[in-house]
């Protein structure tokens, strides 16, 4: 039997989250960039003759920002384009003192709600023009989101690169936002909120002459495993903690599995802990000496510490 108690505490521990990796061989054109950011890592190795091997690793572990954000929308930064105006409706949504992740997410969601992605848009892609038309290409969407975030007081910058799909490399643009304790967090507003995919290949500058791309290792984006913010996939700020304890003292081995194949294990002697889990349903299986002694489907919630007591027949007899 498993008895559960949920305690609403913030997650503090850090364990690498589910990740996926793709590998490409690029031939010709400019060299791609080596990148290390929160949830996105790209390594680049020159293999000679104008060729580069690129590995892209994307993690969906929680962002982990903290602190308090206060509205600064009346103090535009020097990098905000001339003529740019902060939308009144968005200013009204950013009131009081809220956490930086939530306020920045509110800005990103506002862009997704008010600016349509139009790959055929031939008009200027600067932030002011895109917001006035309420549509733009990927570059315009990234420019608009970056300008809004900067005006709201965040550090933000656009990132140029390629989007690789079935061997076709298309010039693309996304952005990074500086969040307290989380560092630079990438996000592609054409996909969701704080999400990236292993199909993104970053470059130091805009890619004017796309290279030939050979996919050496394909990887799914798997955005479906993320929770939702107004219907859009979002990488949460906090995960869930799970603490399992053997009522009879243990030892035992606990295995957690989600439906996308993320597997975590912990030794219960008598207690074991799982940190920074994505919210959602996980299957728990407890094993001792090669025999499964407990199973359960657990619904874990963001920002909470969940406690589970595992009682075996032996522990029940002791009571």
Task: Judge whether residue 57 has pLDDT over 60.
Answer: yes
* pLDDT tens digits along 139-151: 999 999 999 999 8
Query: Quick one: pLDDT at residue 7?
Result: 32
CA 238-242-246 angle, 5° bins: 170
Task: Judge whether residue 61 has pLDDT over 60.
Answer: yes
> What's the topology of domain 19-233?
C8orf32 fold (3.10.620)
Fold match flag (19-233 vs 239-318)? no
Is there a cis peptide before residue 159, judged by omega within 30 degrees of 0?
Answer: no
Assign domain 239-318 to a CATH class.
mainly beta
pTM for the whole structure = 0.83
The tokens of 60 are what?
């969906």
Average pLDDT over residues 203-228: 89
Q: Across the chain, what does the average pLDDT equal? A: 87
DSSP conformation letters of 179-211: ETTTEEEEE-TTT-BS---TTEEEESS--SSPP
Domain boundaries, the chain: 19-233, 239-318
């Amino acid at each position: 039997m498993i008895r559960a108690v949920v305690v609403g505490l913030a997650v503090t521990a850090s364990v690498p989250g589910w990740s996926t990796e793709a590998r490409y061989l690029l031939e010709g054109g400019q060299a791609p960039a080596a990148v290390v950011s929160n949830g996105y890592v790209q390594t680049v190795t020159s293999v000679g003759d104008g060729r580069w091997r690129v590995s892209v690793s994307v993690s969906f572990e929680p962002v982990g920002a903290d602190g308090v954000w206060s509205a600064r929308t009346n103090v535009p930064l020097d990098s905000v384009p001339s003529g740019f105006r902060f939308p009144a409706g968005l200013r009204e949504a950013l009131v009081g003192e809220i956490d930086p992740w939530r306020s920045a997410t509110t800005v990103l969601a506002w862009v997704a709600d008010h600016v349509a992605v139009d790959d055929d848009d031939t008009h200027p892609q600067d932030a002011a023009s895109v917001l006035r038309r309420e549509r733009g290409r990927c570059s315009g969407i990234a420019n608009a989101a970056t300008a809004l975030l900067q005006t709201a007081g965040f550090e933000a910058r656009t990132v140029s690169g390629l989007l690789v799909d079935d061997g076709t490399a298309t010039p693309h643009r996304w952005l990074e936002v500086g969040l307290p304790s989380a560092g630079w967090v990438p996000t592609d507003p054409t996909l969701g909120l704080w999400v990236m995919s292993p199909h993104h290949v970053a470059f130091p500058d805009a890619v004017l002459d796309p290279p030939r791309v050979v996919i050496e290792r394909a990887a799914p984006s798997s955005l479906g495993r993320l929770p939702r913010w107004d219907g859009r996939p979002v990488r949460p700020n906090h995960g869930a903690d799970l603490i399992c304890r053997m009522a009879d003292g243990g030892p035992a081995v606990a295995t957690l599995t989600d439906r996308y194949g993320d597997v975590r294990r912990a030794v219960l002697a008598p207690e074991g802990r799982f940190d920074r889990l994505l919210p959602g349903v996980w299957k728990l299986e407890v094993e001792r000496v090669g025999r499964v002694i407990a199973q359960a489907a657990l619904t874990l919630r963001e920002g909470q510490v969940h406690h589970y007591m595992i009682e075996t027949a032996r522990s029940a007899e002791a009571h």
